[in-house]
Chains A and B, each alone.
Chain A
Amino acid sequence: MSSAGAGSTDSTAARRNTKRPKYSKFTQQELPACKPILTPRAVISAFLLVSVVFVPVGVASLLASRKVVEIVYRYDSECIPKNVTNKVAYIQSSSDKACSITLNVTKRMKSPIYIYYQLDNFYQNHRRYVKSRSDEQLREHSEENSTSTCKPEDMVNGKAIVPCGLIAWSLFNDTYSFSVNNRNLSVNKKGISWKSDRDHKFGKDVFPKNFQNSSIIGGASLNESIPLRDQEDLIVWMRTAALPTFRKLYGKIEEDLNEGQLINVTLKNNYNTYSFNGKKKLVLSTTTWLGGKNDFLGIAYLTVGGLCFFLALSFTIVYFVKPRQLGDPSYLSWNRNPGGH
């Protein structure tokens, strides 16, 4: 009997530490929850809300964009002498390729006026191109020889090129000078790059070396006495563009220009876009809080806002014209095809 007794105490002990699951709202999946469903009212109000927000924002964006005064001038074809048939040979020749154009200020432009060059069909986002640089070398003097990623523009005559790589090698080298009524407009080239680039990516003790010394000359040369962090044209160029059509900041004119003024631009058409049929444009533009001139965002806001309003309206009409019990199950798949299992 003793063994039986032991068994019974065992069983009562077992009962005490039972396997019964602990009750909690979490384990029983009964947590308080918000369960929104798409009722007609919710749908209509959501659409209305979107349109109510989108339309003003769209109007504001559009206004901002419209406030921007922008002068775009394409000069790549114009700045080739008419008698030249082989444009590529012309551009690669070492002759002076000065060209002069006139821009008409259609609307008063308030300072600062930003000068951009715009290239077209230029794949700065090509993988070979993007990878062809050495961040270490740009940053630190001691890393001068780390040019392994820069091929084929890594070495010339066994000496490391600073800055190495295809990006630096193909630096844009058209230059512009502006004058209004024969008075030169000064172009400020300071502060056209991002501060973090100047401070952390381009060293102040890194000076160009052996640059553009190889057999084929790419783009601009650099002043070997100026450290890279002060070569802002290079810094801007090195921040590669996302798309094949891009603008890059050239400088700023810190002077208002009045409507009707004519700007004479003397430019040196050095950069070869003729090989790949790229266009070159000179852009003068002011900015607003939203940046430069682009109506797209404003129009898009207005369009979607309008669309949502339209949707709200049509849903309302549908709900009024054709009210139907949401609970009507005659639309269920298994009721629609009675034969199916």
Chain B
Amino acid sequence: MGRGRRFKKLYLSKIYTFTCGKKSLFNDEHSQIGSVGFSRVVLVNEPADKFENSSENNNNNNYADNVVCSTKYTVANFLPKSLFEQFRRVANFFFLVTGVLSFTKLAPYTAVSAILPLIVVITATMVKEGIEDMRRKKQDIEVNNRMVEMLKGSGTFERTEWKNLKVGNIVKVEKDEFFPADLLLLSSSYEDAVCYVETMNLDGETNLKLKQGLEITSSLHEYDFSDFKAYIKCEDPNANLYSFVGSMEFKEQVHALSPQQLLLRDSKLRNTDYIFGAVIFTGHDTKVIQNSISPPSKRSKIERKMDKVIYVLFFILFLMSFVGSVFFGITTKEDLKNNVMKRWYLRPDDSTIFFDPKRAPAAAFFHCLTALMLYSFFIPISLYVSIEVVKVLQSIFINQDINMYHEETDKPAHAVTSNLNEELGQVHTILSDKTGTLTCNSMEFIKCSIAGVAYGRGVTEVEKAMNRRNGLEFDDIMNSPDRKAPIKGFNFTDERIMDGNWVNEPHANVIRNFFRLLAICHTAIPEVDEDTGKVSYEAESPDEAAFVIAAKEVGFEFYKRTQTSLSIFELDPVSQQKVKRTYTLLNVLEFNSTRKRMSVIVKDEKGRILLLCKGADSVMFERLANNGREFEENTLEHVHEYADAGLRTLILAFRELDEQGYKEFDAKFTEAKNSISEERETMIEEVSDNIERNMVLLGATAIEDKLQHGVPNCIDKLSQAGIKIWVLTGDKMETAINIGLLREGMKQIIVHLDTPEIRSLEKGGDKTAISRASRDSIKHQLSQGAEQLTAASGTSEQAFALIIDGKSLTYALEDDMKNSFLDLATSCASIICCRVSPKQKALVTRLVKFRTGKTTLGIGDGANDVGMLQEADIGIGISGVEGMQAVMSSDVAIAQFCYLERLLLVHGHWCYRRISSMICYFFYKNITFGFTLFLFEVHASFSGEPAYNDWFLSLYNVFFSSLPVIALGVFDQDVSARYCLRFPMLYREGVENILFSWRPIISWMVNGFISSIIIFFFCSKAMEIQAFDKGGRTAGRDILGATMYTCVVWVVNLQMALAISYFTLIQHVLIWGSIVIWYVFLLAYGAMASSFSGNAYQVFAETLASTPSYWLLVFFVVITTLVPYFTFSALQMRFFPMYHEIVQWLRHKGKTNDPEFCAMVRQSSLRPTTVGSTARRAAKTNSLSLRGSTTDHR
């Protein structure tokens, strides 16, 4: 409460010349109120329940309530809708059709045994859908039950849930709370009803926005609202964040409303203690929810390929059925010739349509359907559901990874969607945002140049990386963020300046002015902690805060702002006493992106009028007075140095105004400010422009946009893994360039439109001429770049970096040029796009995605990255920051960029490996099983009689082979996490899709066919005709079926054991367990009544178990079936080892600590054009050793 009082006298609107003080005016748009699209009527503070009778008067009731609902299903439509979703999948639909057909005479097996697996699979998927939807529901409930203070009928504010809000309610929102709905700002803790809003969730902009209520309501306070009534007419709900048209009737006067008064849901109140607002749009009518598009459903490349493989399987299935039915038709037709029966025991003379020789084509057709059902075991029915289960479990592992948990923000990694896990292992290009993603959006004052002398001994991350580059690799501890940063935003050390030593410097006077300027020229608000007397600042942007803090640390402590004055304590270096100085604030000419500078005009205690200005070098140097250029040369040099070191620079300058001059300016300025014409802004700009001239240069500041912890190292690892990194940033070219992506000697190809010709054209304003010239220029620059590349490609291992700005990008992305742009970009080692808009980010992403056909990963933190995240194959949101928009539309959320390393190299690699080997294995096991059925058919004149008992058939996919494969998909590791990180090259297996290209898929399929042939051939040959046991009885269909089935179960499970190289207890239990389950099932099923178990009745207990030939045969067949695969993989390990096998071998030999071996395995496969410090070092040593070795040879 105390703070509120302190602000009370502060009319902040005065210091914002451009954004505030604008009268809300009726304009053309307002005339539309009441017409279509502008028909909303809100009765403020007349809750619906009070006016139940006079409904004509109150249509607040007709609007949606404030409940948001993001669930996919409701209780009522869950069943039909999710069933529909399920059967949209080809495979599921196929099984539905065969399930239905199995109730007809066509079925080769009983209907129940066919439909049961389908039911199991569909139920499992639906349960998963249901659980996911429940989770969404829970999130909705959490949001809907957030608390807000709402005006109750009694005239007091009481806390209530968000969901209870109705249109027309008045709410009080406190500092750092989210707005519960779209509100009309009535009044705030500031006298003039201004408030600061953080809209990061909406547009990703980190700077605070200023909103101001109508003057007429600004005086309303907590107890004035009980009899506040107003009548608002406004536009209907729409998705446009930046428009709002409405009018408010209050005290019989109509006032125009503009976006300036509208506070949007999901934005946050900052720097303001509280506001009062009237609810205008609720729930789904709010602009943010109107804006939310349903995220695109993404499917991974592997799954898309898997669909193709399934189509191949379908093709094989149809082919087999077709061939079978042709043969069946022929044999059936031959059964009856001229009324002579051939196979009389089938009674072909008296047959049903399915076996009628007289209607052989029809019989063949129906047989084809039967065969489709029979061979449907080719299509892994449980594949989809297994994959989904596996992916959910994989995401749990990702979420649980303690190494991706960020302590400070208490955020673990979170896989928002689970169906892209394996895509994480295939990333080819990373498109990264810069601010907040690579950098932590915290600005640190690190260096400055005053009077041509450079100060500051701080070392930037980039400089550190450079040091490391030069072989000084000791400062890993230094790298940690908590090195020594006692003061946030200040990392400046220089004994010449600190502790008052600046007075001894040659230009002490300039230094004093420099820091005074920093202490005065800003819009920050000080907050004095009443207990300790310490001052903290609330500023619009972190760099602004950094300046004020820097001034304070040097001894110019800004501590008080009033309406018209600024007070600072100056530490007198001689007396060591604080001297209070107060400056009268005359004008503030604030910063915006066109002006690129900000000035204040103040009057000091001596009555001097000073204009203090800070701004970008591009606009400042031209504004210096001729006599103010004393330090220009040195300063310019320092500014370039700083920019090279990745620092943000600002130029500081001042000007003394005489009384007369100021008066003239003030008159013009006031006139411009009060003008209500459309040229108001240009007028203000013009007036400001005139006064901000003839300034005297003081120096320059350098602010470090701090890279996040571990970013350089992470980028290094990722590029070792062969991943390309594109940086897409809104920042200007100079600061964007230096973020550790570039390496020494890298040639830069810069594409920009900052040429004199274009600038002169721009002044002319002929738009078509500009665009034509720009297009030509870009085309020229691109082809030049390509030439440079081709020239260099033959000669050396030269790496190139492409830097392009947003304006050029608009042209480069045009249809006729985008291909050459992309060709150039893909052959460069690193690409930086600066000054790009959110839309361009998405466009670039799409271009890269479609043109290269490789997997792209977008990573970003703000709402401006949402397009990119949704467009990329995988979107990663940074959850360590406050905004949630990026996280909401991302597929995986991590707290810090550096966790990307682990996410991709470890989890991505594993998941890719797991899923691809799992799918291959699925195909293998189903082919092994399904093809034995076909082979049996060959010996059963293709009549469609299955070799196995019905329940053996249907439980194969569900019981005897499903659990180990799920374990494979969840737990398998080729190498442990440690080695994944040590040998990033492992990741290339995913990028090149080595494990799921057609080769391994086909090999696994062939393996399946071979296994199947071996099993059938040996079993049938060995059991052919002779006595099966000592008792002389021969083996019937039941015994052969059970034996073959046993072999299949053993083989597929042992094949799994051979294929994986990672056995934990879980794998053992599941693999051996599956085999045991088969025997247990065989016993249990055989013990059931013979009416149920059919020909499997007691087949194990009575016949198989006691017969040596059964056991010998199974043993033989199982081992023999595995020999081809075993030989193949032994040969491969020996002659064509894959990278993971090399690493496995290295681990096995215990050579992982042998630097020579490691270097051989790790570096011999590095590409020359990667970025990152390792590559740099490698390039250097390689060239050295190359030189060395060539001399050795000679």
Contacts and interface: CB of A to CB of B under 8 A. Distances in A.
Contacts of A158: none
A314 to B, nearest CB: 10
Contacts of B1030: 287-289, 291
A139 B1129 CA distance: 53
A311 B1125 CA distance: 13
B1027 A318 contact: no
Contacts of B1145: 37, 39, 326-327
A21 B1026 contact: no
B1018 A300 contact: yes
A129 interface: yes
Contact of B1130 (A19, A43, A216): A43
Interface residues of A, number: 115
A12 interface: no
B375 interface: no
Nearest to A171: B345
Contact of B1064 (A32, A130, A249, A252): A32
Contacts of A139: 1090-1091
Contacts of B943: 123, 125-129
A231 interface: no
A292 B1164 contact: no
B341 interface: yes
Contacts of B1095: 239
Given A129-B345, A192-B1033, A247 B1090 contact: no
A291 B854 CA distance: 60
A28 B400 contact: yes
B340 A57 contact: no
Interface stretch (A74-82, A97-105, A328-336): A328-336
Given A114-B1032, A135-B1094, A201-B1097, A127 B405 contact: no
A118 B2 contact: no
Interface in B398-442: 399-403, 405, 407, 410-412, 428
B1109 interface: yes
Task: Give the interface centre of B1034, B1038, B1041 by most chain A CB atoms within 10 Å.
Answer: B1034
A90 interface: no
A246 B1034 contact: yes
A196 B1063 contact: no
A159 interface: no
A33 to B, nearest CB: 4
B1159 to A, nearest CB: 11
Interface in B1012-1040: 1018, 1020-1040
Contacts of B994: 333
Interface string B552-589: 00000000000000000000000000000000000000
Contacts of B350: 152
Task: Give the interface centre of A31, A68, A315, A328 by most chain B CB atoms within 10 Å.
Answer: A31
Contacts of B402: 20-21, 23, 27-28
Given A35-B1144, A240-B1037, A29 B412 contact: no
Contacts of A324: 1134
Interface stretch (A173-181, A220-228, A259-267, A301-309): A301-309
A332 B767 CA distance: 54
Contacts of B407: 20
A28 B412 CA distance: 13
Interface stretch (B53-61, B377-385, B512-520, B1113-1121): B1113-1121
Given A126-B943, A334-B1165, A242 B1133 contact: no
Interface in B989-1003: 992, 994
Given A241-B1037, A290-B1108, A326 B400 contact: no
Nearest to B407: A20
B90 interface: no
A151 B105 CA distance: 13
A269 interface: no
Given A32-B1064, A287-B1027, A304 B1116 contact: yes
A257 to B, nearest CB: 15
Nearest to A113: B1032
B1062 interface: yes
Contact of A275 (B340, B722, B1031, B1038): B340
A196 B370 CA distance: 31
B1141 interface: yes
A136 interface: yes
Contacts, number: 315
A67 B344 CA distance: 39
A37 B1026 contact: no
A321 interface: no
Contacts of B1062: 33, 35
A333 B992 contact: yes
A192 B1062 CA distance: 50
B298 interface: no
B1112 A61 contact: yes
B412 A291 contact: no
A70 B1027 CA distance: 11
Interface stretch (B543-551, B728-736, B971-979): B971-979
B1091 A135 contact: yes
Contact of B1144 (A37, A126, A333): A37
A246 B1038 CA distance: 14
Contacts of A28: 400-403
Contacts of A135: 1090-1091, 1094
Nearest to B1142: A327
B1146 A275 contact: no
Contacts of A23: 402
Contact of A300 (B355, B400, B1022, B1064): B1022
Given A28-B401, A50-B1119, A329 B1161 contact: yes
Interface in A268-311: 272, 275-276, 285, 287-294, 296-297, 300-301, 304, 307-308, 311
A18 to B, nearest CB: 5
A8 B796 CA distance: 60
Interface in A10-54: 14-15, 18-23, 27-40, 43, 46, 50, 54
A112 B1032 contact: yes
Contacts of A27: 397, 400-402
B930 interface: no
A292 B992 CA distance: 55
A35 B1063 contact: yes
A297 B1043 CA distance: 14
A326 B1133 contact: yes
Nearest to B947: A242
A249 B941 contact: no
B412 A19 contact: yes
Contacts of B1028: 291-292
Contact of A245 (B342, B988, B1025, B1120): B1025
Contact of B1036 (A131, A240, A332): A240
A195 interface: yes
A332 B1138 contact: yes
A20 to B, nearest CB: 5
Nearest to A15: B410
14 contacts: A14-B410, A35-B1144, A43-B1126, A123-B940, A194-B1102, A196-B1098, A243-B1024, A287-B1030, A290-B1108, A292-B1025, A294-B1024, A297-B1022, A297-B1116, A332-B1165
By Cβ-Cβ distance, the 9 closest A-B pairs, closest first, are A292-B1026, A292-B1027, A114-B1032, A170-B345, A242-B1040, A127-B943, A127-B945, A27-B400, A152-B350
Given A37-B1141, A135-B1094, A169-B345, 12 more contacts: A37-B1144, A37-B1148, A43-B1133, A50-B1119, A123-B940, A139-B1091, A196-B1097, A245-B1024, A300-B1018, A300-B1021, A304-B1120, A311-B1127
Interface of A: 1, 3, 14-15, 18-23, 27-40, 43, 46, 50, 54, 57, 61, 68, 70, 88, 112, 114, 116, 118, 122-131, 135-136, 139, 151-153, 166, 169-170, 192-196, 200-201, 216, 218-219, 236, 239-249, 252, 272, 275-276, 285, 287-294, 296-297, 300-301, 304, 307-308, 311, 315, 318-319, 324, 326-335, 340-341
